[in-house]
Amino acid sequence: MKQEKIRLLFVCLGNICRSPSAEAVMRKLVEDAGLGNRFEIDSAGIIGYHEGERADSRMRAHAARRGYALDSISRPIRPWDFRNFDLIIGMDDRNIADLKRKAPDVESEAKVHQMMEFARDSLFDYVPDPYYGGAEGFERVLDLLEDACAGLLEFLRRS
């Protein structure tokens, strides 16, 4: 793993369900591994509709049952995020397309990755948005993120 701090930005549409959950899952994984001081972890949304809001209450409740604190505040992705973060990780293909469109240059576009690229054991190739569904959708998101974040940490340790 590189010696300097690794900066990760997780992105979904509104930054109230999937990306704050990815942020919390990854933060707990690196803390549990004793690597918290080696990472800067944040989340953002493609759109700013929920800017200033906490994560969705249903997502917070499901995450809390697994020991994750979703305490981030929603914000939209900003142009300088492409300069400040090493990896910008979108949750689905639409997020990826939007992030690549917003990237200011080819170098920034190369930082964009799909969350499920890092999954170790999943039949899903994206993290589905649970917002309009029931409890099973929020649980599925957490299952997928736990797997993909663990895979991401393994990837970064090998890099």
Two tokens, residue 153: 């940490």
Rounded to whole angstroms, what are the CA distances from 71 to 31, 54, 117? 16, 7, 26
Closest by CA to 41, choosing from 75, 86, 9, 79, is: 9
Two tokens, residue 73: 């505040």
Tell me, what DSSP letter sits at residue 127?
A: -
Closest by CA to 90, choosing from 19, 7, 4, 14, is: 19
Q: Which residues are catalytic?
A: 12, 18, 129
| Number of CB atoms found within 10 A of residue 135's CB | 11
